[in-house]
């Protein structure tokens, strides 16, 4: 009996792939840090029963329509806005993601980004390396306190709640805005619900953790930044397109907010000449929210196990759609 074909869009460790190779013919793009070209992805989809893409790989109509044998697309990431889920559903293709296994790791990075931005850690490290440290002075590279401040979390899912737990360790007042109220976060974490506009106005740190949807695209626009305190720090560890980057740039340059920490951008990889990257009050990272060895391996394994389940006729572990 011919084994089904699986295409993986980056080179993954052989020990992770081995259980999949036992039941399928597995082909991997032979690069860890170079994206597979779209024309190659379309060609590989033509004979694939399963695809295992990264969150940066666009799986749209062209790829899905090429996959006549395609049964499952197992995204390596909690977000799946890179996949045309309605088109997959119409074709009976299961789409899966990797939730939960990256919650704490992404929350760690989010809070680290908040701390680094507030305390100007990257700027200070470069200041020392460049030989600019000549003397101690009262306000040399002075940043902002984090403890006892107010954090406003936009997107109170699992990662948002994990960030709130970390914020409570710093004795922060936790506000949140979400599409629906989160009674468990209110009861367990003392989080207080605020309408979006009120949260912006009251928070010292505004942390974006909302998924990218048609409703949240450009949610953080010129009006949103103008509602924030001039001393506010904005953190985005969600998706770049939730932010109007030109509006953020202008808010930072004109002193409408104090600083920003960004792990994501609308177009990735980001150009080093991007206006936001050049600003001294911006800490910019290359989308490393879940980037620890332990968590990335767990994500790979969950994506793999979703594929194995579907190919063996069992329900997927973490589906995001329900094709009929």
Of residues 239, 245, 256, 296, which has the active-site annotation?
239
Render 16-59 in DSSP notation, one character per residue: HHHHHHTTSEEEE-S-SSSPPPHHHHHHHHTT-SEEE-BTTS-B
| 5-8 and 25-28 strand pairing | parallel
Q: Which of 123, 250, 266, 268 is catalytic?
A: 268
Residue 31 known to be catalytic: no
Query: Phi and psi dihedrals of 246, rounded to 5?
Result: -65, -40
The total number of residues written for the chain in this structure: 324
Q: Other C-beta atoms within 10 Å of 267: how many?
A: 10
Residue keyed to tokens 């990735």:
268
Clarify whether 239 is annotated catalytic.
yes
6, 130, 310, 322 from 96: Cα distances, Å? 15, 46, 10, 10
Neighbours of 25 (CB within 10 A): 15
C-alpha separations of 206 from 54, 111, 225, 252, 289 in Å: 28, 12, 10, 14, 17
Report the C-alpha gap between 250 and 256 in whole angstroms.
8
Task: Determine the Cα–Cα distance for residues 137 and 224; give it in Å rounded to an integer.
Answer: 35
Q: Which of 166, 182, 287, 296 is catalytic?
A: 287
Of 134, 168, 135, 139, the C-alpha closest to 151 is: 168
Residue 189 neighbours by CB distance under 10 Å = 17
Q: Is 287 a catalytic residue?
A: yes
- 103 phi and psi angles, rounded to 5 deg: -60, -55
- Residues labelled as active-site residues: 239, 268, 287
């Amino acid at each position: 009996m011919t084994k089904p074909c699986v295409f993986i869009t980056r080179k993954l460790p052989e020990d992770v792939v081995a259980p999949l190779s036992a039941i399928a013919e597995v082909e991997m793009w032979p690069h860890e840090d170079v994206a597979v070209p779209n024309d190659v992805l379309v060609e590989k989809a033509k004979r694939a029963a399963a695809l295992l893409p990264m969150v940066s790989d666009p799986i749209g109509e062209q790829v899905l329509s090429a996959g006549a044998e395609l049964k499952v697309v197992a995204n390596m990431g909690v977000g799946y806005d890179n996949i045309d889920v309605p088109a997959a559903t119409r074709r009976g293709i299961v789409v899966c993601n990797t939730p939960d296994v990256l919650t704490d790791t992404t929350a760690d990075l989010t809070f680290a980004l908040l701390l680094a931005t507030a305390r100007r850690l990257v700027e200070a490290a470069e200041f020392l390396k460049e030989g600019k440290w000549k003397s101690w002075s009262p306000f040399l590279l002075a940043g902002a306190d984090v403890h006892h401040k107010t954090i406003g979390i936009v997107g109170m899912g699992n990662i948002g709640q994990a960030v709130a737990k970390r914020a409570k360790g710093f004795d922060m007042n936790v506000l949140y805005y979400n599409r629906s109220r989160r009674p468990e976060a209110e009861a367990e974490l003392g989080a207080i619900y605020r309408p979006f506009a009120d949260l912006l106005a009251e928070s010292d740190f505004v942390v974006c953790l909302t998924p990218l949807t048609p409703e949240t695209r450009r949610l953080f626009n010129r009006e949103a930044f103008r509602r924030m305190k001039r001393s506010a720090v904005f953190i985005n560890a969600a998706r770049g397109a939730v932010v109007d980057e030109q509006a953020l740039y202008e808010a930072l340059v004109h002193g409408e907010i104090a600083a920003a920490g960004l792990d994501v951008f609308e177009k990735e990889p980001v150009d080093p000449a991007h206006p936001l990257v050049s600003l001294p009050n911006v800490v910019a990272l290359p989308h490393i929210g879940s980037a620890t060895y332990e968590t990335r391996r767990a994500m790979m394994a969950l994506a793999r196990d979703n594929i194995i389940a579907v190919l063996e006729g069992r329900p997927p572990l973490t589906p995001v759609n329900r094709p009929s």
